[in-house]
Structure 1
Amino acid sequence: MSTSEYHSPSKVVVIGGGYAGTLAANHLRMRADVDVMLVNPRPEFVERIRLHQFVAETGEATVDYGTLLGEGIQLVVDSATRIDTAARAVRLASGRALDYDYVIYAAGSTAAIPSSVPGAAEFAFDIAELESAQRLRARLGKLPFDAPITVVGGGLTGIETAAELAEQGRTVTLVCGRTLAPSLSASARRSVATWLSRHGVAVLEAEVVTEVRPDTVVFASAAVRASALTIWTTGFGVPELAAASGLCTDELGRLLTDETLTSVDDGRIIAAGDAAAPSGRPLRMSCQAAQPLGAQAANTVLSRIAGTEPAVINQAFTGSCVSLGRRAGIRQLSRKDDTAVNLCITGRMAAAIKEATCKLGVSRIRREARKPGSSSWLKGGPRPEQLASAPRGVTSP
């Protein structure tokens, strides 16, 4: 190859080493002329969908990145503090700066304990991230086994957490605010309610927690209930990195993108996972959405490098899985638009499906490390071999 034909490798910085970011980093290796750096604050991958198991000491939730990342990907254990779009550099907490041609913004999500509830931020524990789960696990280990525990939030995270603890014989109250498992079908909700009742969980659907104290919770009805440990599972937030970088975000702070996951402000920043808001209409925060979005974001970068038009989102859901302890669960089926249908699988078979789903999330990343481009969620976009062999085109500004 002559000097005039030589092109230096494209530098891609992936911010966030969760389900979306790790798969995206591996997917980028479809081209040999791409240098990939994965920035993550922890040296280990966190299986967030197993954090309730980690808290209850019924399973672990971390995986060595050495078993997940493909050859040549540089893991940078640090936190991104700002994307300097003018200098085209990602600023890190350590003071380092990583130059980039493209950024894949896969910063993920965090807990959202409301400041409007007195005492919640001070006395309640969340389960959204590894560090908070570690604190919760340590606190749980110091409690008498019959100490009253309150789980706030009747969504899937709250249900799984309450069930994991109740199966061990813990005294658990689940405060739903309104409806238990509102994202599930009526039949699935009945199955969840039956399991919780059989395992002694007090489910309060109409109550709302208005204050958290060190050893009690207070409800909107003015009732006070003993709570040696309060776990907050309602809602999620996102890191402030996009807003701090001067990029347009939605109300929650997710990066606003077009349908190719490209930032509406900067064609070199592509988002994936929980921190992305395509056309201002974010998908459900889930591993099920994160990994296809990670592959889509990587494909968008590869299309930009190749000088081809990136594909638009073509995401479909199949439903959700909920574990009820280690021996039961719910597999809720849905339409492609994530609307639940009145069909679900329950009991031990659902528990097996949930466990297989958890394992699949990690195995997909490993498969992508071994064979970049093996992901098969997207339909209608350019084929992987087209992106891998296309000539380098003119990159967008």
Structure 2
Amino acid sequence: MPGQATPHKVIVIGGGYAGTVAANHLRMRTDVDIALVNPRPKFVDRIRLHQFVAGTGDATVDYGTLLGEGIQLVVDSATRIDTAARIVQLASGRALDYDHVIYAVGSTAATPSISGAAEFAFPIAEFESAQRLRARLDELPLDAPVTVVGGGPTGIETAAELVEQGRTVTLVCGGILMPSLSAPGRRYAAKWLSRHGVTVLEADKVAEVRPDAVVLASGAVRPSVLTIWTTGFGVPELATESGMRTDALGRLLTDETLTSIDDARIVATGDAAAPSGQPLRMSCQGAGALGAQAADTVLSHIAGTEPAVIDQALLGTCVSLGRRAGIRQLTRKDDIAVNLYIGGRAGARIKEMTCKIGMGKIRREARKPGSLVWPKGGPRPEQPTSVAPVVP
């Protein structure tokens, strides 16, 4: 229409929990063109990847059920952000121009430095690696020895899911079993794993991975026809390759409004953001709220107003133990566990409900932008709140 204002072009790079919420939240303004760039045509529900591997659940969701009207899904990979030209370059050769970018590339599996791990161990952090792992499991008899490396939530959930399927599983923790749990919560998890047949090696570390065995730091050799690597995370190198400053892991450095310290048109969120150099714990719980807050920051930049600093608390952890048990660990607002957890079938129901609520919040945000609520009041460092404002 004549005289109609030119829409503000916002590109969201990454279609995980944070990016999808951010794209939907941006629709609070009607004069924003939103493109969501993601390398896969479907949403990956990463907190269900251990179920996908074991064959007890799906881990993909159609974006058509998650994205609000008018959001363009671009199935491609961003290879560089040209901040001078304000262009996002894609692997296909396309280039998308932008007024603002929400950097939501998420996290990936880290390449392990342990001898043989990169060649012979199977990661589980991404859908493609989970597909390869599931195909390998399908080739193995149930009594084939399987080793899961990593005593965090992914390692525990994977070991529990597989042992419940009748697999022979050893869990090598490399330290304390899930240290973020309270002592009572850890005891409960350890007892469940032991009672169901998982051999838990809490203090042992893997020194070498072989095609048919793992070598522990003690020198002991344990048979392992399949080794699953669940420890360590990294982030894509897009920010570094685009010339922006990052932390040691590669997360984009931002101020407390999630605005890049290098370019005020770039706002980061989710696992790939490092506000004040102190990122929140990588989690689905944190990602959705950070996505909404990143979108609010962009909307403030467009409006020419001062964006709010992030305000978010993390209030617990859910860990599944197969399909019939789980743990809901309660924490303070600073994410420190208290000596209170809910276990057993009730814990399993809470975990399943939490997974469904996560998807439900994204769908609700698609229907009603701005509807997402989250717990607030978590501690953040005293830092300057923002960088130079963007001219709309």
**TM-score normalized with structure 1 length:** 0.94
Q: Counterparts of 1:203-282 in structure 2 under 5 Å?
A: 203-282=200-279
Q: Deviations 1:212-258 (Å, cap 9, x if unpaired)? A: 01000011111100000000001110000000000000000000000
Superposed CA deviations along residues 46-79 of structure 1, whole A, max 9, x for unmatched, are 0000000000000000000001100000000000
Equivalent residue number for residue 36 of structure 2? 38
1:395 shift after superposition: 3.6
One-letter amino acid of the counterpart of residue 67, structure 1: T
Q: CA deviation at 1:118?
A: 1.0
Q: CA deviation at 1:112?
A: 1.1
164, 180, 193: which one aligns with 1:196: 193
Instruction: Give yes or no for contact 1:257–1:264 (8 Å, CA) kept in 2.
Output: yes
Cα distance in 1 between the residues matched to 2:38 and 2:221: 41
Q: Could you tell me which residue of structure 1 aligns to residue 26 of structure 2?
A: 28
**Inter-partner Cα distance in structure 2 for 1:94 and 1:26:** 25
1:183 aligns with 2:177: no
- C-alpha distance in 1, partners of 2:87/2:338? 46
Q: SS at the partner of 2:197?
A: coil
Which of 140, 144, 150 is residue 141 of structure 2 equivalent to?
144
TM-score normalised by structure 2 residue count: 0.95
Counterpart residue identity of residue 31, structure 1? R
Alignment length (residue pairs):
381
- Return the alpha-carbon distance in structure 1 between the equivalents of residues 157 and 376 of structure 2: 32
SS of match in other structure, 2:281: coil
Identity fraction in percent: 78
Distance (Å, rounded) in 2 between the aligned partners of 1:287 and 1:323: 15
| RMSD (Å), alpha carbons | 1.3
Q: Which of 145, 152, 166 matches 2:163? A: 166
Partner-residue secondary structure (3-state), 2:282: coil
Cα distance in 1 for partners of 2:195, 2:164 equals: 10
Distance in 2 (alpha carbons) for counterparts of 1:378 and 1:98: 35
3-state DSSP of counterpart to 1:296: helix
Helix, strand or coil: the match of 1:135? helix
CA shift digits 1:316-369 (9 cap, x unpaired):
011000000000000000001101111000000010000000011111010000
Deviation of residue 378 (structure 1)? 7.0
How far is the alpha carbon of 1:168 from its aligned partner? Answer: 1.2
Ranges in structure 2 where 5+ consecutive residues have no aligned partner? 378-388
* Aligned AA (2:132): R
Question: In the alignment, is the contact (CA less than 8 A) between 2:264 and 2:390 conserved in 1?
Answer: no
CA distance in 2 between counterparts of 1:159 and 1:252 reads 24
Q: Please tell me whether residue 396 in structure 1 is matched to residue 388 in structure 2.
A: no
Match of 1:302 in 2: 299
- For residues 126 and 203 of structure 2, the distance between their equivalents in structure 1, rounded to whole angstroms, comes to 28
Q: Are positions 1:121 and 2:118 aligned together?
A: yes
| Alignment CA distance shift 1:202-1:379 (3 Å) | closer
Structure 1 position 206, deviation (Å): 1.4
Confirm or deny: 8 A CA contact 1:154 1:174 kept in the other structure. Answer: yes
Gaps of 5+ in 1: 381-393
Give the aligned partner of residue 389 of structure 1. none
| Matches of 1:150 and 1:306, distance apart in 2 | 53
Q: In 1, are the aligned partners of 2:109 and 2:232 still within 8 Å (CA)? A: yes
2:337 matches 1:340: yes
Provide the rounded CA distance (Å) in 2 between the counterparts of 1:194 and 1:395. Answer: 55
Aligned to 2:384: none
1:307-386 equivalences under 5 Å are 307-377=304-374
Q: Which runs of 4+ in 1 moved over 2 A?
A: 377-380, 394-397
One-letter amino acid of the structure 2 residue matched with residue 92 of structure 1: L
Q: How much has 1:98 moved relative to structure 2?
A: 0.5
Q: Matched residue of 2:148: which SS?
A: strand
- CA distance in 2: counterparts of 1:344 and 1:79, whole angstroms: 41
State the match for 1:88 in structure 2: 86
Letter in structure 1 aligned against 2:126: E
Deviation at 1:2, TM superposition (A): 7.9
Contact persistence 1:17–1:38 (CA under 8 A): yes
What secondary structure, in the 3-state scheme, does the structure 1 residue paired with 2:163 have?
A: helix
